[in-house]
Amino acid sequence: MQLKDLEYYKISRDISRYVWDIYTLFDWQIQKVIGDQWIRAIDSISANIAEAYGRYHYLDKNKFYYNARGSLYESLDWTEKLHERDEISAGDKQYILNNLLIVKRKLNTQIKRTKEQKDKE
């Protein structure tokens, strides 16, 4: 299976595209104060999944899966804050959160599978 075929990678890339479209509509101040951090966190999810995919050793893989999960939690936080500050709609918030939670479940499953590789050694 190739990276582009992994469902949690594909979903995280879709979220990145979706969030980018919202970000480009923010005024300059919102982009700089909160938007840039939101984009970095969102983009970091798929970037770390890609990094993990390219690693051979299970400890290396899981290090990047953990980084992806940390970025996912940061993305959840920024998304909530943007909604609280009336910068994104309830519909956008729900779409993003729902998809982030799907990625989270699948990422946790992948972390568990990678740990199981260790136990087989």
The DSSP string of 37-64 is: HHHHHHHHHHHHHHHHHT--SHHHHHHH
Predicted confidence at residue 121, as pLDDT, reads 63
With beta carbons less than 8 A apart as the criterion, state whether 115 and 75 touch: no
Question: Of 20, 12, 1, 120, nearest to 64 (Cα)?
Answer: 12
Count of domains in the chain? 1
Domain containing 18 — which CATH number? Answer: 1.20.1440.60
The alpha carbon of 53 is separated from its chain's Cα centroid by a whole number of angstroms, namely 15
Q: What is the structure's pLDDT at 48? A: 97
Q: What is the pLDDT of residue 17?
A: 98
Is residue 2, in this structure, part of any structural domain at all?
A: no
Range of the domain at 75: 11-120
Q: What local confidence, expressed as pLDDT, does residue 58 receive?
A: 79
pLDDT at 117: 77
Q: What is the DSSP letter of 29?
A: H
pLDDT value of position 14: 98
What pLDDT does 59 receive? 84
Specify the pLDDT at position 115. Answer: 83
Q: Residues of the chain whose pLDDT is less than 70?
A: 119-121
> Is 28 inside a domain boundary?
yes
88 in any annotated domain? yes
8 A C-beta contact, residue 38 and residue 25: no
Q: Identify whether 3 is part of a domain.
A: no
The answer as to whether 4 is a domain residue is: no
